[in-house]
C-alpha cells in the first residue's frame, strides 16, 4: 500500500511540472473577466462550465489522507482540461490555435540575425552622428558639388531651377527604429526583411510655409543626398561594407529614402550581414507637429500652379505624404501603447502581416497600399471603438485569433469607402474611434489628431479587392466543418491568372492629357493612367464585374544614387477582372429609363453610336446597348469599345488577353449557330435533354407487363459535361450513345439468380423494342454490354430518336444489389476483392451515376462556367492520352473542386480561370496524405457581404444542405481507414468523398498508381511552365502537347476522318459555311464508329496485364485528326520470374525455370492485331 502511495506522489510531482508548462502556453487567467463579453457571444454557457472546473484548483492542497491523491489527480486533469477548453473557445479550435503557434514560431526572426543587425544598426547610428553639418548652400553650389559621377540629389519632379532659399545639413534630431522591426513584429519574409530607421530632420532647417510647392521635399532631397555622400565614405572607412541605393518609400515618388544592402567581403573585420537577408531603409522624417495640420487636409491644395480655373484641385497625395513624414516615430509610439495594452496584439499583427502578404498586399502604392502598418493601426483603432456609436469592436483581452478575426470581419463588413472610420492617435486621451456612415467615396481611416487618412495610398479598386479577400477569409474563419488554416494563412494566392477571371495586358501610348493639374493630383503618370482606366472600365462594365484591378508591369521603385529619379516606368499595364457570373455574358447593357433625360444624355454620350432605345416586355422604354457575340466574351468587346472611345483611339489593338485562346480550344459544334455562340451556351445540350424527355414520355406510355417507374439520365452529355456538344446524327461522337437507367415498378418476382435476372430484364427490353418498332418512329435494337466484368448476360436497349440522338437503356431492379452483395459473401478469399470491385462497377453504372448526374446537372445550372471548364479539362486530359484512364465522373468531381470549394480563391467565372485552378489544385494535391471532400452545394459570391448579419444568416441557412461535421468526419474516417491499410497509395490513390459517395473511392477505384502519378506530374509541369513563362498562346499550346517520349512505343493509327460525322467543325477547314453536318442516320452506324477504340480495348484484354495502353477518346480532335495508341511496359513485370503456367502473358524461357516476358513477340502480335489500322509503330525507348 505504502509503495503505491509513493508512486502516486511522484506522479503528482510530474504533474506539477506539466501544469506550469501548460499555463505558460496559455492565456493568463486574469483575462478571463473580459472574456465574458466575448466577441463570438456564444461562449457564456461553456464559460460557466469551465468555471465549475476551476473550483478544484482554488481549493486548499488536499490533506494527506486516503483519497486526496485521487482528487489531486483530478485537479491536474482539470487544469489540462482548462487548457484544452480555452483554446477551443478563444481560438477557433485546438488545432487552429496550435497551428497559429507553429506558424508564428516558424516566421520568427532568428535571434542570431537580430543580434547581428543590432550591431550594424548601432554602428550606423554612430556613423550618422559623425556626419559634419554644412550650411547655406545655394542650388547652384549643390549642383556643382553633386554630379552624376558620384551622388545626385534625388529632387522630386519638377526639378528645382531657381530657388530663393538655401540648403543645410545639421545632425538629425532623433534616430529611431520604426516599422515592424521597431514594433518587434518583424517576421521572416521571402526577399528578406527591411528595417526602417527614421531620422528626424532638425527643426531649424524649416520655415512655416515649407510645406508648399515641394519646398520641404527639396530640402529633404538635399539632406538625403548629403547623407548618402557621407555614408558612402564613412561606411567604407569603418568596415561596414554596404551598397547604397535610392528607393521610394512605399513607392511614393515624393519620398526618396536610402536603402542599405550588405556586400559580402572576405575581410573578417568587415561587418557583413548579407546572410541575414536584412536590408536597412534610412527614412528622413520631419519633426512632429511642425506644420499646421489643417493646411494639409486631403481637400486642400498645397501646390500652387498657374491655371485658368478659379480653384486649384486638391493635392491629397502630396499632403498625405508630407503629413506621414512627420509621424514615423509618432505612430510607432501609438502602436507600441496598443501592443503593451493588448497581450496578443503582437501575434495578431504577425497574422495580419502574413495574411496580407499571401494576398500580395503591402503598404506600397503598387501593392494596394494596405500593409502591416495599416493593419496594425486599424486594429489599434478598433481596440478603442470602431462601431457606429463608438462601441468597441475589439477588446484588450482577446486572443490573437480573435483580434485577427475581428479585424478581418471589420474589413469585410464595414464599407470604409462609402463611410469611414475616424480615430484619434493622441496618446493618453481616450477618444473613441467611430464609424461614420457619410464618407468621401475614397477608402478612409481618418486620424483626427494628425488629420491624416491612413489609407491614403489605397485606390478604390485595391480597397475593393481587399474587402473581397476579407469577406472570403471571414467565410473561411466561420467554417466549422473543415480546417481552413491553410487557405487563410499558408497559401500564397497572389498569382494573377488564379486571382482573376480575365487578365488583360495593355500597352499605353503617350498620353497628352497629363498636364500640370493632373500631375499635382496624381503625382505620377502611372497613377493617372490607372485611375483613368479604372474610371472608364467601371462605368462601362458596371455590374458585369465584381473587381477591377490595375497595375504597372515590372514596377521599379529603387534607383542608383547617381540618378535623380527613375527615368521611366514600363508602359505596360495588367488589368485583372473578377466577373459577376450572372451578368458578365448578358447581351444588353441597360441604361436609365427614357424618362430620365439627364441620365439618358450621359448614357448616350458615353456609348456613342452604340446606344439605342428599347422597349421591354414590361412596357418600359430604356436606353440600352445591345452587344453581339463575336467569338470573344462580351466583356472583352465592351472593354475594347469603351477604351477606344474614351481612353485612346485604337487602344484595343494594344490589348491582349489569352481568355479567348482557352475558349477556342473547345471544339465547335457543327450547328448553324455553332461558331457564334457564347462559351457558356448550353443550347445543344438542351436539345438532347428535350429529346430524352420526349423519349421517356413515350416509354412511360407503353403498355408493358410491368410499368416503368423512372428513366433517369446517366451520361455526360445529359449532364452538360461531354467534351463534344451533342449534335444530331453525329454517330461518330464517342459520346453519341447516352446511357439511361430504367426502373420498373417494384416487383417481388425478379429471379433470385443473376443470369436469370438479366434474361428477365432482356425479355422486358425485347417487349419494349417490339412495341417501339411497331408503334413509333423510334428505331431500336439490342446490344450486349460488357461493362460489368463477369456479368456477360447484360443487354441494353439502343434507341435512335427522330431528333437524331441515341440512348442506351439499362435496367435496374431492386434485386441487383442484393445479388452482387451476395456474390461477395459467397466468394472465396481469392475472389473476394475482385468481386468487391465488380460490386463497385455495378454501383457506379446503375446507381452512382444516377446520383452523380442529378447533382452535376443542378450544379452546372448554378455554376455557368463549370460546364465549359470541365469540358476543356477533359480535352486537356485527352490531349495527354489520359482521359480514357479515368471515369468521366471522376474527372467531373476533380473539376468541381475550384467551384464548390474555391478557397482561398473565388469561384471561377471564365474557362481560363477555372481550368488553371483545376491544374493548380492537382499540382498541389498530395493525395497520399489528403482526401478531397467535396461539399456539393451552390455557393454564391455576389452576396451583399456589407451586412454582417446577412452573412451569418447565409451561413446558417446553407448549413442545411451543407455537409455536417458528422458526415465530414465520417468521410475523413473512411479515408484514414483506407490509408492505414494502404499507406503508400498502391491500391487507392485519389480519394474523393461527397454526400453522394461517402466511401470516396466509387469513381477512383479503377485508377492505378502510375496514372494518378502521371496526372499529378503533368499538372505540376503545367503549373511550373505557367509560373515561369506566364499565360501566353505559346505556353497554352505547350500545355496541350503530349509528351510521347515517356512511353515505350507509340502507334500512329490510320486517319479516319470522323470529325464531321462526330458533329465537330473541322479546325482545318477554312470554308466554315460549306461544311454541313449529317442530317439523317446512315444505314449502318457501325461504319462510322471509331475503330481505334475497339483496338485499344482489345489490346487491354490481351496485354493489359503488362502494358499500360493509352489512347485518345477524341482522336479526330487532335493534330492531323488521327488517333495514336501508346504503350508502357509496367516495369515490375520486366524482370526475370519463376515460370508458372498461369503467367498470363507471353513469355520466353531464359533459365532452368525462369522466364521473362517476350517483348518482341508481344510487339509483333500487337502489330498483327492492328493490321491495316496501324500507320506507323515507333519504339521510343530501346529496351
Partner 1 sequence: MSSNMKDIKGYKILNINLNGIRHHVLFKKHESNKSDDRSIFLCNLPIATDFKTLKKFFEKHSIGATIENFTNSYLTDSIEDIVIDLPSLTSDLKDPEVNESFKLPKNCGVLTFIDKAAFQLAFTNLNKLSNKEEIIDWPINSNSFGSSYFLNQYQSQILDIQELSNDVNQSLIDFDQAEKESMENFQNQKQLVDDDGFTLVVGNQRKTKAGILGNQQQLKNKLNSEKVQKKEKTKEKEDFYRFQLRQRKKDEMNDLLRKFKADQEKVQQMKEKKRFRPY
Q: Which CB atom, from 137 or from 835, has the smaller least distance to partner 1?
A: 835
Tell me if 1092 sits within 8 A of 697, measured CB to CB: no
Q: Which CB atom, from 36 or from 755, has the smaller least distance to partner 1?
A: 755
Q: Which CB atom, from 295 or from 1146, has the smaller least distance to partner 1?
A: 1146
Give the closest residue to 850 by CA, choosing from 740, 937, 726: 740
The stretch near partner 1 (CB under 8 A) out of 143-151, 215-223, 654-662, 820-828 is 820-828
The dihedrals phi and psi of 453, each to the nearest 5 degrees, come to: -85, 110
The stretch near partner 1 (CB under 8 A) out of 672-680, 707-715, 784-792, 1024-1032 is 784-792
Does position 826 interact with partner 1 (CB under 8 A)? The reply is yes
Peptide bond into 158 cis (omega under 30): yes
Q: CB of 749: closest distance to partner 1 in angstroms?
A: 9
Contact residue for partner 1 among 791, 913, 920, 994 (CB under 8 A): 791
Q: CB of 1138: closest distance to partner 1 in angstroms?
A: 9
Does position 53 interact with partner 1 (CB under 8 A)? The reply is yes
Q: CB of 688: closest distance to partner 1 in angstroms?
A: 23
- Each residue 75-94 as x (binds partner 1 by CB under 8 A) or -, in order, gives --xx-xx-xxx-xx----xx
- What does the alpha-carbon distance between residue 303 and residue 296 come to, in Å, rounded to a whole number? 11
Q: Which of residues 452-491 bind partner 1 (CB under 8 A)?
A: 486, 489-490
Q: Which of residues 507-566 bind partner 1 (CB under 8 A)?
A: none
Contact residue for partner 1 among 114, 1169, 1177, 1180 (CB under 8 A): 1169
In the sheet that 434-436 helps form, which strands lie side by side, from edge to edge?
434-436, 420-423, 445-447, 452-453
Q: Which CB atom, from 246 or from 807, has the smaller least distance to partner 1?
A: 807
Contact residue for partner 1 among 395, 651, 819, 849 (CB under 8 A): 819
Alpha helices by DSSP H, 1030-1139: 1033-1039, 1091-1103
Does position 1100 interact with partner 1 (CB under 8 A)? The reply is yes
Q: Which CB atom, from 623 or from 1092, has the smaller least distance to partner 1?
A: 1092
- What does the alpha-carbon distance between residue 197 and residue 125 come to, in Å, rounded to a whole number? 9
Peptide bond into 904 cis (omega under 30): yes
Give the closest residue to 613 by CA, choosing from 603, 623, 604: 623
Q: Which CB atom, from 38 or from 831, has the smaller least distance to partner 1?
A: 831
Q: Which CB atom, from 615 or from 759, has the smaller least distance to partner 1?
A: 759
Contact residue for partner 1 among 11, 15, 23, 107 (CB under 8 A): 107
Q: Which residues contact 375 (CB under 8 A, 6 or more apart)?
A: 349, 352, 353, 356, 407
Q: Which CB atom, from 289 or from 1082, has the smaller least distance to partner 1?
A: 1082
Which burial class, exposed, middle or buried, applies to 362 when counting CB atoms under 10 A from its CB (0-12, 13-18, 19+)?
Answer: buried
- What does the alpha-carbon distance between residue 90 and residue 647 come to, in Å, rounded to a whole number? 52
Q: CB of 75: closest distance to partner 1 in angstroms?
A: 12
| DSSP, res 1062 | G
Contact residue for partner 1 among 442, 588, 1145, 1180 (CB under 8 A): 1145
Does position 687 interact with partner 1 (CB under 8 A)? The reply is no
Q: CB of 1172: closest distance to partner 1 in angstroms?
A: 4
The dihedrals phi and psi of 306, each to the nearest 5 degrees, come to: -80, 130
Which regions of 396-485 does DSSP assign to beta strands (E)?
420-423, 434-436, 445-447, 452-453
Tell me if 1067 sits within 8 A of 1061, measured CB to CB: no
Contact residue for partner 1 among 15, 32, 439, 790 (CB under 8 A): 790
The stretch near partner 1 (CB under 8 A) out of 118-126, 324-332, 535-543, 761-769 is 761-769
Does position 159 interact with partner 1 (CB under 8 A)? The reply is no
Q: Which CB atom, from 305 or from 1052, has the smaller least distance to partner 1?
A: 1052
Number of residues that bind partner 1 (CB under 8 A): 105
Does position 99 interact with partner 1 (CB under 8 A)? The reply is yes
The stretch near partner 1 (CB under 8 A) out of 353-361, 879-887, 996-1004, 1014-1022 is 353-361
Contact residue for partner 1 among 16, 40, 51, 106 (CB under 8 A): 106
Q: Which CB atom, from 709 or from 1164, has the smaller least distance to partner 1?
A: 1164
The stretch near partner 1 (CB under 8 A) out of 11-19, 566-574, 966-974, 1099-1107 is 1099-1107
The stretch near partner 1 (CB under 8 A) out of 248-256, 472-480, 1106-1114, 1149-1157 is 1149-1157
Which burial class, exposed, middle or buried, applies to 481 when counting CB atoms under 10 A from its CB (0-12, 13-18, 19+)?
Answer: middle
Q: CB of 581: closest distance to partner 1 in angstroms?
A: 31
Give the closest residue to 420 by CA, choosing from 407, 430, 408, 434: 434
Write the DSSP string, 667-713.
Answer: PPBSSTTGGGS-TT--HHHHHHHHHHHHHHHHHHTS--SS-EEEEEE
Contact residue for partner 1 among 320, 354, 356, 508 (CB under 8 A): 354
Contact residue for partner 1 among 102, 947, 1037, 1176 (CB under 8 A): 102
Which burial class, exposed, middle or buried, applies to 208 when counting CB atoms under 10 A from its CB (0-12, 13-18, 19+)?
Answer: exposed
Q: CB of 67: closest distance to partner 1 in angstroms?
A: 14
Q: Which of residues 266-295 bind partner 1 (CB under 8 A)?
A: none
All three cell numbers of 674 = 455553332
Residue 274: CB atoms within 10 Å:
16
Q: CB of 493: closest distance to partner 1 in angstroms?
A: 11
- Which helix (H) or strand (E) segment holds residue 1169: the answer is helix 1159-1170
- Each residue 1044-1083 as x (binds partner 1 by CB under 8 A) or -, in order, gives ----------x-----------------------------
Rama region for 948: left / alpha / beta (φ>0; ψ in -120 to 50; rest): alpha
Does position 694 interact with partner 1 (CB under 8 A)? The reply is no
Write the DSSP string, 974-1034.
Answer: HHHHHHHH-TT-SS----EE-SS-TTS-TTTTT--HHHHHHHHHHHHHHHHHHHHH-S-HH
Q: CB of 851: closest distance to partner 1 in angstroms?
A: 24
Contact residue for partner 1 among 274, 1102, 1137, 1175 (CB under 8 A): 1102
- What does the alpha-carbon distance between residue 575 and residue 639 come to, in Å, rounded to a whole number? 11
Contact residue for partner 1 among 314, 1165, 1175, 1177 (CB under 8 A): 1165
All three cell numbers of 875 = 480535352
- Which helix (H) or strand (E) segment holds residue 779: the answer is strand 779-784
Write the DSSP string, 6-71.
Answer: HHHHHHHHHHHHHHHHHHHHSPPGGGHHHHTT-SSS--HHHHHHHHHHHHHHHSPPPPSSTTHHHH
All three cell numbers of 284 = 528622413
Q: Quickly count helices (H) and strands (E) in the chain.
A: 36, 33
The stretch near partner 1 (CB under 8 A) out of 2-10, 266-274, 786-794, 901-909 is 786-794
The stretch near partner 1 (CB under 8 A) out of 283-291, 600-608, 745-753, 989-997 is 745-753
Q: Is 1147 helix (H, G, I), strand (E, B) or coil?
A: strand
Q: CB of 834: closest distance to partner 1 in angstroms?
A: 6
- What does the alpha-carbon distance between residue 786 and residue 783 come to, in Å, rounded to a whole number? 10
The stretch near partner 1 (CB under 8 A) out of 268-276, 323-331, 672-680, 1097-1105 is 1097-1105
All three cell numbers of 1047 = 512511353
Does position 933 interact with partner 1 (CB under 8 A)? The reply is no
Does position 168 interact with partner 1 (CB under 8 A)? The reply is no
Q: CB of 783: closest distance to partner 1 in angstroms?
A: 5
Q: Which of residues 186-205 bind partner 1 (CB under 8 A)?
A: 189-190
Q: CB of 389: closest distance to partner 1 in angstroms?
A: 37
Amino acid at each position: 500500500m505504502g509503495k503505491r502511495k509513493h508512486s502516486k506522489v511522484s506522479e503528482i510531482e510530474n504533474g506539477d511540472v506539466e501544469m506550469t508548462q501548460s499555463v505558460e502556453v496559455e492565456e493568463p487567467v486574469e483575462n478571463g473577466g473580459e472574456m465574458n463579453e466575448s466577441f463570438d457571444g456564444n461562449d457564456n454557457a461553456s464559460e460557466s462550465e469551465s468555471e465549475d472546473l476551476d473550483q478544484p484548483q482554488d481549493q486548499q492542497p488536499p490533506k494527506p489522507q486516503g483519497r486526496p491523491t485521487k482528487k489531486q489527480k483530478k485537479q491536474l486533469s482539470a487544469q489540462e482540461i482548462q487548457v484544452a477548453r480555452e483554446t477551443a473557445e478563444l481560438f477557433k479550435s485546438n488545432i487552429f490555435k496550435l497551428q497559429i503557434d507553429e506558424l508564428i514560431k516558424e516566421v520568427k526572426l532568428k535571434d542570431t540575425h537580430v543580434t547581428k543587425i543590432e550591431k550594424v544598426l548601432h554602428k550606423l547610428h554612430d556613423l550618422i552622428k559623425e556626419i559634419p553639418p554644412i550650411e547655406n548652400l545655394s542650388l547652384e553650389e549643390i549642383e556643382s558639388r553633386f554630379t552624376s559621377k558620384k551622388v545626385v540629389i534625388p529632387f522630386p519632379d519638377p526639378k528645382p531651377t531657381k530657388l530663393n532659399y538655401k540648403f543645410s545639413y545639421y545632425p538629425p534630431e532623433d534616430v529611431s527604429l520604426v516599422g515592424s522591426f521597431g514594433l518587434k513584429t518583424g517576421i521572416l519574409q521571402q526577399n528578406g526583411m527591411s528595417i526602417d530607421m527614421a531620422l528626424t530632420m532638425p527643426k531649424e532647417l524649416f520655415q512655416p510655409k515649407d510645406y508648399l510647392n515641394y519646398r520641404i521635399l527639396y530640402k529633404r532631397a538635399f539632406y538625403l543626398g548629403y547623407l548618402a555622400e557621407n555614408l558612402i565614405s564613412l561606411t567604407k572607412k569603418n568596415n561596414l561594407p554596404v551598397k547604397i541605393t535610392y528607393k521610394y518609400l512605399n513607392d511614393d515618388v515624393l519620398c526618396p529614402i536610402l536603402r542599405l544592402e550588405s556586400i559580402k567581403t572576405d575581410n573578417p573585420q568587415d561587418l557583413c550581414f548579407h546572410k541575414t537577408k536584412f536590408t536597412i531603409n534610412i527614412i528622413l522624417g520631419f519633426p512632429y507637429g511642425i506644420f499646421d495640420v489643417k493646411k494639409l487636409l486631403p481637400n486642400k491644395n498645397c501646390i500652387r500652379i498657374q491655371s485658368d480655373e478659379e480653384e486649384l484641385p486638391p493635392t491629397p497625395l502630396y499632403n498625405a505624404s508630407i503629413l506621414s513624414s512627420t509621424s514615423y516615430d509618432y505612430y510607432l509610439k501609438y502602436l507600441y501603447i496598443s501592443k503593451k495594452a493588448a497581450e496578443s496584439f503582437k501575434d495578431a499583427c504577425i497574422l495580419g502581416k502574413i495574411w496580407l502578404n499571401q494576398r500580395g498586399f503591402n503598404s506600397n502604392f503598387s501593392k494596394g497600399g494596405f500593409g502591416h502598418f495599416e493593419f496594425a493601426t486599424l486594429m489599434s483603432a478598433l481596440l478603442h471603438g470602431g462601431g457606429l456609436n463608438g462601441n468597441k469592436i475589439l477588446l484588450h483581452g482577446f486572443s490573437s485569433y480573435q483580434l485577427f478575426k475581428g479585424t478581418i470581419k471589420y474589413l469585410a463588413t464595414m464599407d470604409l469607402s462609402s463611410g469611414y472610420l475616424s480615430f484619434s492617435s493622441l496618446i493618453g486621451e481616450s477618444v473613441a474611434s467611430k464609424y461614420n456612415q457619410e464618407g468621401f467615396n475614397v477608402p478612409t481611416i481618418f486620424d483626427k489628431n494628425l488629420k491624416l487618412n491612413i489609407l491614403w495610398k489605397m485606390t478604390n479598386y485595391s480597397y475593393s479587392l481587399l474587402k473581397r479577400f476579407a469577406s472570403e477569409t471571414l467565410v473561411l474563419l466561420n467554417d466549422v466543418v473543415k480546417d481552413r488554416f491553410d487557405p487563410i494563412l499558408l497559401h500564397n494566392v497572389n498569382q494573377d491568372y488564379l486571382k482573376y477571371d480575365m487578365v488583360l495586358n495593355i500597352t499605353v501610348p503617350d498620353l497628352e492629357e497629363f498636364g500640370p493639374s493632373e500631375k499635382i493630383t496624381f503625382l505620377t503618370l502611372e497613377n493617372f493612367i490607372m485611375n483613368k482606366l479604372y474610371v472608364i472600365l467601371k462605368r462601362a462594365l458596371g455590374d458585369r464585374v465584381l473587381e477591377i484591378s490595375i497595375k504597372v508591369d515590372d514596377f521599379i521603385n529603387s534607383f542608383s544614387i547617381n540618378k535623380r529619379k527613375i527615368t521611366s516606368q514600363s508602359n505596360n499595364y495588367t488589368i485583372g477582372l473578377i466577373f459577376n457570373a450572372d451578368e458578365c455574358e448578358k447581351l444588353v447593357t441597360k441604361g436609365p429609363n427614357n424618362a430620365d433625360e439627364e441620365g439618358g444624355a450621359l448614357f448616350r454620350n458615353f456609348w456613342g453610336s452604340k446606344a439605342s432605345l428599347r422597349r421591354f416586355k414590361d412596357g418600359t422604354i430604356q436606353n440600352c446597348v445591345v452587344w453581339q457575340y463575336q467569338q470573344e466574351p462580351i466583356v472583352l468587346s465592351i472593354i475594347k469599345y469603351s477604351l477606344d472611345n474614351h481612353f485612346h483611339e485604337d487602344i484595343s489593338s494594344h490589348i491582349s488577353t489569352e481568355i479567348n485562346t482557352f475558349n477556342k480550344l473547345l471544339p465547335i459544334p457543327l450547328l448553324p449557330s455553332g461558331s457564334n455562340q457564347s462559351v457558356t451556351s448550353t443550347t445543344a445540350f438542351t436539345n438532347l435533354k428535350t429529346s430524352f424527355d420526349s423519349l421517356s414520355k413515350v416509354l412511360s406510355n407503353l403498355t408493358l407487363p410491368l410499368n416503368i417507374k423512372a428513366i433517369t439520365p446517366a451520361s455526360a452529355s445529359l449532364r452538360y459535361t461531354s467534351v463534344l456538344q451533342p449534335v444530331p446524327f453525329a454517330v461518330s461522337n464517342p459520346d453519341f450513345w447516352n446511357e439511361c437507367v430504367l426502373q420498373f415498378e417494384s416487383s417481388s418476382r425478379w429471379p433470385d439468380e443473376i443470369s436469370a435476372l438479366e434474361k428477365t430484364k432482356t425479355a422486358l427490353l425485347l417487349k419494349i423494342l417490339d412495341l417501339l418498332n411497331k408503334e413509333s418512329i423510334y428505331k431500336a435494337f439490342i446490344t450486349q454490354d460488357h461493362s460489368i466484368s463477369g456479368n456477360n448476360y447484360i443487354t441494353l436497349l439502343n434507341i435512335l430518336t427522330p431528333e437524331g440522338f441515341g440512348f442506351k437503356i439499362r435496367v435496374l431492379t431492386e434485386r441487383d444489389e442484393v445479388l452482387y452483395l451476395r456474390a461477395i459473401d459467397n466468394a472465396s478469399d481469392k475472389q473476394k476483392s475482385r468481386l468487391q470491385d465488380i460490386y463497385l462497377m455495378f454501383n457506379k453504372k446503375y446507381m452512382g451515376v444516377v446520383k452523380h448526374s442529378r447533382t452535376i446537372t443542378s450544379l452546372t445550372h448554378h455554376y455557368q462556367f463549370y460546364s465549359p471548364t470541365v469540358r476543356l479539362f477533359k480535352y486537356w486530359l485527352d490531349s495527354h492520352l489520359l482521359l480514357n484512364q479515368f471515369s468521366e465522373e471522376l474527372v467531373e468531381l476533380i473539376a468541381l473542386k475550384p467551384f464548390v470549394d474555391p478557397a482561398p480563391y473565388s469561384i471561377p467565372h471564365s474557362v481560363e480561370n477555372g481550368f488553371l485552378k483545376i491544374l493548380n489544385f492537382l499540382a498541389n494535391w498530395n493525395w497520399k496524405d489528403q482526401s478531397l471532400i467535396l461539399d456539393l452545394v451552390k455557393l454564391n459570391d455576389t452576396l451583399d457581404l456589407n451586412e454582417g448579419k446577412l452573412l451569418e444568416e447565409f451561413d446558417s441557412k446553407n448549413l442545411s444542405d451543407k455537409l455536417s461535421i458528422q458526415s465530414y468526419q465520417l468521410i475523413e474516417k473512411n479515408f484514414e481507414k483506407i490509408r492505414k491499410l494502404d499507406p503508400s497509395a498502391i491500391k487507392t490513390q485519389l480519394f474523393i468523398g461527397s454526400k453522394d459517395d461517402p466511401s470516396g473511392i466509387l469513381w477512383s477505384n479503377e485508377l492505378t498508381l502510375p496514372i494518378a502519378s502521371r496526372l499529378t506530374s503533368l499538372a505540376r509541369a503545367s503549373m511550373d511552365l505557367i509560373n515561369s513563362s506566364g499565360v501566353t498562346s505559346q505556353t497554352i499550346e505547350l500545355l496541350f502537347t503530349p509528351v510521347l517520349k515517356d512511353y515505350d512505343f507509340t502507334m500512329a493509327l490510320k486517319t479516319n476522318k470522323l470529325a464531321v460525322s462526330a458533329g465537330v467543325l473541322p479546325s482545318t477547314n477554312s470554308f466554315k459555311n460549306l461544311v454541313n453536318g449529317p442530317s439523317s442516320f446512315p444505314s449502318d452506324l457501325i461504319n462510322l464508329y471509331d475503330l481505334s477504340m475497339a483496338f485499344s480495348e482489345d489490346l487491354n484484354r490481351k496485354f493489359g496485364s503488362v502494358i499500360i495502353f493509352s489512347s485518345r477518346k477524341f482522336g479526330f480532335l487532335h493534330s492531323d485528326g488521327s488517333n495514336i495508341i501508346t504503350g508502357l511496359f509496367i516495369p515490375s513485370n520486366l524482370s526475370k520470374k519463376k515460370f508458372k503456367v498461369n503467367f498470363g502473358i507471353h513469355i520466353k524461357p531464359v533459365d532452368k525455370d525462369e522466364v521473362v516476358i517476350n517483348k518482341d513477340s508481344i510487339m509483333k502480335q500487337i502489330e498483327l492485331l492492328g493490321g491495316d489500322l496501324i500507320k506507323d509503330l515507333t519504339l521510343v525507348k530501346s529496351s
